[in-house]
Chains A and B, each alone.
Chain A
Amino acid sequence: MNINSNNFQPNGPRPKHLTIGRIGIYCFIFMCALFFLMPLYVMIVTSLKDMDEIRSGNLLYIPKVLSFYAWPKAWSEACTGFVCEGLKPGLINSIKITVPSVIVSVSLGAINGYALAFWRFKGAYFFFGLCLFGAFIPYQVMVYPLLKIESAIGIYSSLPGIILVHTIFGMPILTLIFRNFYASLPIDLFKAARIDGGNFIKIFFYVIIPMSTPITIVAVILQVTGIWNDFLLGLVFAGRDNQPMTVQLNNIVQVDYGVAEYNVDMAATILTSLVPLFVYFISGRWFVRGIAAGAIKG
């Protein structure tokens, strides 16, 4: 995959006249944009309506009376099962899961990539192959045996447990992108550092890490969005006290009893997607590189 930022520049000059054909293109692309924006728009307007208006009014209309009832409720009062604390604990849990998982998995990926690119030993690439193979195994195959391993070492359904799981499942792709990045660095640089007496650790900290900023950004974006959006692993491995936001969101919306409050549901949905959307909007092209690199992930 050759996704460089310079590939995204259009070639040649912009056409000067507006012909019928170009008006057609604009119309069509505008319609597509409306289709893509519609769910986001519906989410926002629904979260700002009260239930009467939702029942009687039109889904696609802006609220007649702005109601901010849903937002505080989704944030701190909505019920997930028997606990009615809203999404706030979920947000805190998601942060507690995401931050250490990203740090641990990206560091591990960087060290693996570094060792594989510069310090190859016999058999290293065999294990690297095995590791890559892991990226293609569906989670469902590994969930139960992994659960058994984690309960055997006593970290199942705890914060370290879920962090370990994210580290494991992030490892293949992170190792791959770090290895590929390091393999593209000039080898003479490494040789010079060796001649100057650098060892494994010194070269890593003084030569490699300062050069790793671009690939680290890609890796962090990939991991932050991936881990934040994860549902399955959080559901199985995090345990009741550490359930991430996505799991709590699903619990809030899918309650079997009581009256469904769609405005609260939509407010909760927006709250859950704020972090990845924020990452997306500030990172721009980096995000594209990140997802392109991570698309093969389990």
Chain B
Amino acid sequence: MFRLGKTTLVAATVLAMASPVAAQETVKMGALATLEGAFTVLGEDSMRGVYMALEEFNYTAGGKKIELITGSSDASPDSAIRATRKLVEQDGVQVMVGPLSGSEGLAVKDYAKTQPNVTFLNGSSAAQDTTLRDPADNFFRFGTEGAQWMAGLGEYVYKEKGYRKLAVLAEDYSFPYTQVFGFLEPFCRLGGKAPADARFWVPIGNKDYSSVIAALPDDVDAIYVALGGADAVNFLTQYEQTGGELPLIGGSITVDQTVLGSKGRTRDFVVGTPSAGPISDTWDDSRWAGFVAAYKKQFPDGFPSPSLFAHAYYVNTKAALLALDTVDGNLSDGGKAYRAALAALEFETPTGMVKLDERRNAVADIFLTEVAEGPDGNLLNKTIKVIPQVSQTLGLSYDEFLKYGAVSRENPVCE
């Protein structure tokens, strides 16, 4: 054991001595995603996004070679911090992309404050407070967050679908809170209702939804469901089997490719479900079509269409590389000029223009979609509308937006 420890030590010392020389020609970039645990599949697709951006730049930016070092977490904040710390303090990465899930992002933001010379770009984590309250100067989010992803959906179901009273079913943690807030706030401002006793919060990985289904009130027009992955599949299957007839409204990862790809009658049942998110599978635009084609070419065994995770990691990695080009790969001032370049960066992504607000959170287009049956029988999300340039404060001033309070199970009240 001690010998292993020593060998590693020696290796580390050699690396540490070698790195100042190597830093002249290469820039070390770290990428962190959930390659273990419940979100493994999503983490793998995230990494595909990182590889796509690097491949596009031929692993070179600002005249320097990019050396990618990957890290893995299991979606818990503790493991995200340990993996980030290893990448930053041991491997010496100067640019860091990740993490994937909401609570991890909050933890990495706190850690970023202790490493002012390293530049952090978010992966796909979408909790609101990663950038809204008490942000870190060196943490950037070029992908949007959970409340932004819901832009337009509340108005749409109130005005177009005519829903007035809703039940809410969501997982019990920061990302669904953010989504529920983003969805209900405009819906309730218009006069819609979602009373507290019709909101159901289940733990991640919940298998049995029979008690929730039995408790669903009769007098609601639809159910807003913000569940992800296997949780969504389990609920939809059980709700269909018990003869549920209420129409659904989906969160950003409730009716994505992983759920729509599942077999069985659930498929017909979800046709017509409106949803919103940072991507739309069928957006009729050459930028998006080019992105999907590149994804399919590079990863023939990936998803039929890139998930929002691949998209978010791609956008953030690309931002990191574009800014490196701007500063000619020069990070010798502790990355100060590099971060200034990032803050000013404005670029074309597969889903339209993206730029940052003053707290380094993205302002980007959001897609309102509806599940439909494609020509080949596969279910897909049909683009209804593109909501242009959604900001984190949803069009309000920063101070005004803060008055809404932090996202939680009771925010907004909506009685």
**Chains A and B are bound partners:** no
Chain B residues near A (Cβ < 8 Å): none
Instruction: Report which A residues bind B (CB closer than 8 A).
Output: none
